[in-house]
Chain A
Amino acid sequence: MTAMLPILVPLLAAALALALPGDRAPRLVLLATALFLPLVALLVMVRVHESGAIVVHVGGWAAPFGIAIVADRFASIMVMLAAIVGAATVLFSSGEAPDPRTDRARSTLILALLAAAAGAFLAGDLFNLYVWFELLLVSSFGLAVLEGRGNQLAGGIVYVVLSLLSSTLFLVGAGLCYGAVGTLNLADLGVRLAELGNPRLATVLASPLLIAFAIKAAVVPFVAWLPAAYPPLSSAIGALFAGLLTKVGVYAIIRTSTIAFVQEPEVIGFAILTAAGATMALGVLAAVSQAEIRRILSFHIASQIGYMLMGTGLALVIVATTPSESVRAELATIALGGAILYILHHIIVKTNLFLVAGLIERRRGTTELKALGGLAQSDPAIAAIFLISALSLAGLPVFSGFWAKLVLVRAGLDAGAWIVTGIALATGLLTLLSMMKIWVEAFWREPVAAAPPPREPGPGWRPMLAASGALAAIALAIGLGARPAWWLARGAAEDMLARDAAAARVLEGGPETPTGERREPRAPDPEEPRR
């Protein structure tokens, strides 16, 4: 039950936001739920770290027939991050003026999005994952349309077309898997594909799914939708999307490639590493050439996705090529732990940079670099928050990104992956360059002559600043307290790489049922015909 709370609580709140009378009710329900969710996530996280992964067989039907909700250490960290992003962005948006025309729909959609993100992180089977992906798409597209600013629809349409393509590929992939081995449960898929004894077939089955996730994650060459869809959004919604949407795709890639499609890790790992290198390099090069804060940040999202994939690909390649078993386990754990630490730091920092863009817009009415300047003098608080986040993103020592990059580079050197490691280091430098560009032009230099004068921040400024400040504090804490953060990430990676134990947890021991009979999972039947 505990493991389902991060899904059920926001869903219930979404229903309440629709059903309760009164214009103010939806906003209150949204704010209360979003601030409450980190506590729910903390409960799940503590339970999982105390007594191991939780598996819930929804409706009392055993895996692989029923829907399994699996909360292991990785999933619980992701649920926590989603809750933090939700709380910060909702608190931030509570500073915006209420709009009785759209508040009800907006609150419902944000809550549905939070439920869908938690559902995707906790899903134990492909079809369940698909359903949460769809809910994410529907609610995010609804939010993008509701914002209704200027050229919003153009970017939104690119996003929805590519997302539908991704959903179709996902569904095709799931159908092919079911046709080949008759199961959709991720743990069971790993077992059945191994029994099939045809590693290449398993990799072929994985490819439509991995491409579908790569589109969601905005991996090169499927990156087009992201810089088109994000910049026109309002700051709070943009931050929510920037923090959550692409990371769900990355999470699905890590999850499926470590538990379900494990037959040819060298092939999948090499493909992921190639995509990682291209994504890092192209993303950061595109970012350097932009001149508007949100566009710069959007391209950096893509670039940063590359780092997460780099850790994943390295882990897979290490698993495939290292002969010694003990060394292999250690090195793979470090590489995957690096990817997870990167996600941990990136979600907090990137969300906050989008919120900072919102704060700047509130003060100056624009986020075009050429019309900004002097923010360091007029708004030292924003400057401090930006500097913490930007230096974390670029990976300067003591800040959170440094540790994540350090682990990844070390894993890359250990694996002898010189090219991708070189790209990662160069990307770090260029990221620093583009962050310093924002710093110099918006914060440091004298305001340009034609710049509009600073506006009064107006009502609601305090919750906005508080949300952004809290995220900066978390980012600083990850940087200064790197040891506990690494302990979390490493533990999550250990869970992901101990595949047999993970499969056994899901597949063994059926749920209790009211009639007293135990619905045991199916025993392997040697007579069963194989297609």
Chain B
Amino acid sequence: MRSVIFKAGARAVAPLLVLVSALLVVRGHNEPGGGFVGGLLCASAFALVALAEGVGAARRLLRIEPLRLVGIGLLVALGSAIPAAIAGFAPFTGLWVSLQLWDKASPVKLGTPLVFDLGVYLTVVGIALAMIFTLEESDDDAPAGL
């Protein structure tokens, strides 16, 4: 799979995939999308790089060990339970703030469900890439002709 066209294409498409995955997370609370789908899409961007340029390039691009990303994602997701618990509600109750940024008519709503979704996003990226990288690498090790 070391074709120049694929390599150049992957370099162009991968950032787009990451961007779209971020969009999916943000809109996911009320519309189709969310942390899980977004995470899968983001992982697919890195998988594409891994296919085009090898796992080493993809690992350098990610900069962090995928399994550690799983841990961080879980911490973020579990962290979204804390604000509600401190405020005296059941854990994971959604708490929201409205920010009047540029458009007074439609404020930006931020809340703890978004934090939970971000945690899911990171966890899914980590899990998916941990599997993909491992499988790709074991493929590299296989003797020629397989």
Using a CB–CB cutoff of 8 Å, the interface residues on chain A facing chain B are: 1, 4, 8, 11-12, 14-21, 56-60, 104, 108, 511-514
Q: List 27 A-B contacts (CB under 8 A).
A: A12-B74, A12-B75, A15-B70, A15-B71, A15-B72, A16-B71, A18-B68, A18-B70, A18-B71, A18-B74, A20-B71, A21-B68, A58-B90, A58-B91, A59-B91, A60-B84, A60-B89, A60-B90, A60-B92, A104-B67, A108-B71, A511-B90, A513-B89, A513-B93, A514-B93, A514-B95, A514-B96
Across the interface, which residues of B come within 8 angstroms of A513, CB to CB?
A: 89, 93
- In B61-119, the 8 Å CB interface with A consists of 67-68, 70-75, 78, 81, 84-85, 87-96
Interface centre among B84, B85, B93, B96 (most CB of A within 10 A): B93
Q: Which of A4, A16, A512, A514 has the most CB of B within 10 A?
A: A514
Give the residues in chain B near A57, CB-CB below 8 Å: 90
Chain A residues whose C-beta falls within 8 Å of the C-beta of B73 in the assembled complex: 15
Contact of A512 among B67, B88, B96 (CB under 8 A): B88
Question: Which residues of the partner chain A approach B71 to less than 8 Å between Cβ atoms?
Answer: 14-20, 108
Q: Are A12 and B78 in contact, with the CB atoms below 8 A? A: yes
Chain B residues with CB under 8 Å of A12's CB are: 74-75, 78
CA distance in complex: A483, B74 (Å): 43
Q: Which residues of A contact B78 (CB under 8 A)?
A: 8, 11-12, 15
Known A-B contacts A1-B85, A60-B84, A104-B67; A11 and B90 likewise in contact (beta carbons under 8 Å): no
User: Quick one: which of A1, A11, A17, A21 has the most chain B CB within 10 A?
Assistant: A1
Q: How far is the CA of A16 from the CA of B68 in the complex (A)?
A: 9
Contact of B94 among A4, A11, A19, A60 (CB under 8 A): A60
A8-B81, A11-B74, A15-B75 known; A59+B94 contact, CB < 8 A: yes
Chain B residues positioned under 8 Å from A14 (CB to CB): 71, 74
The residue on A at minimum CB distance from B111 is A514
A511 to B89, CA, bound (A): 8
Give chain A residues whose Cβ lies under 8 Å from the Cβ of B74: 11-12, 14-15, 18-19
Q: How far is the CB of B40 from chain A (nearest CB, A)?
A: 19
For A20, list chain B residues within 8 Å (CB).
Answer: 71
Are B68's CB and A19's CB within 8 A?
A: yes
Chain A contacts for B89, CB-based, 8 A: 60, 511-514
A8 to B67, CA, bound (A): 20
A16 CB contacts on chain B under 8 angstroms: 71, 75
User: In the complex, which residues of chain B have a beta carbon less than 8 angstroms from the beta carbon of A512?
Assistant: 88-90
Interchain CA distance A1-B87 in the complex, whole Å: 11
The residue in chain B whose Cβ has the minimal distance to the Cβ of A57 is: B90
Question: Shortest Cβ distance from A119 into chain B, in angstroms?
Answer: 13
Q: Tell me the residues in window 32-51 of chain B with beta carbons closer than 8 Å to chain A beta carbons.
A: none
Closest B residue to A19 by beta carbon equals B71
Say whether A56 contacts B91, CB under 8 Å. Answer: yes
Q: Is the CB of A514 within 8 A of B87?
A: yes
Chain B residues lying within 8 Å of A108, measured Cβ to Cβ, are 71
Contacts A18-B68, A19-B72: A8 and B93 contacting too (C-beta < 8 A)? Answer: no
Closest to A55 in B: B90
Q: Judging by beta carbons under 8 Å apart, are B93 and A511 in contact?
A: yes
Q: What distance in Å separates the Cβ of A130 from its nearest Cβ neighbour in chain B?
A: 18
Rounded to whole angstroms, the CA-CA distance of A513 and B88 in the bound complex is: 9
Measured CA separation A61–B70 after assembly (Å): 27
Q: Which residues of A contact B94 (CB under 8 A)?
A: 59-60, 514
Quick check: B67 and A18 within 8 Å, CB to CB?
Answer: yes
Q: How far is the CA of A17 from the CA of B67 in the complex (A)?
A: 10
In the complex, residue of chain B having the shortest beta-carbon distance to the beta carbon of A26? B71
Residues of chain A lying within 8 A (CB to CB) of residue B96? 514
Contacts of B92 in A (CB 8 A): 58-60
Which residue among B71, B73, B87 has the maximum number of chain A CB atoms within 10 Å of its CB?
Answer: B71
- Write the nearest CB–CB distance from A485 to chain B, whole angstroms: 32
Minimum CB–CB distance for B22 against chain A, Å? 22
Q: How far is the CA of A19 from the CA of B94 in the complex (A)?
A: 26
Contact, CB under 8 Å: B75 / A4: no
- Give A229 to B95 CA distance when docked, in angstroms: 46
Instruction: Give Cα A58–Cα B73 distance, bound, in whole angstroms.
Output: 20
Per the bound structure, the CA–CA distance linking A514 and B85 in Å amounts to 12
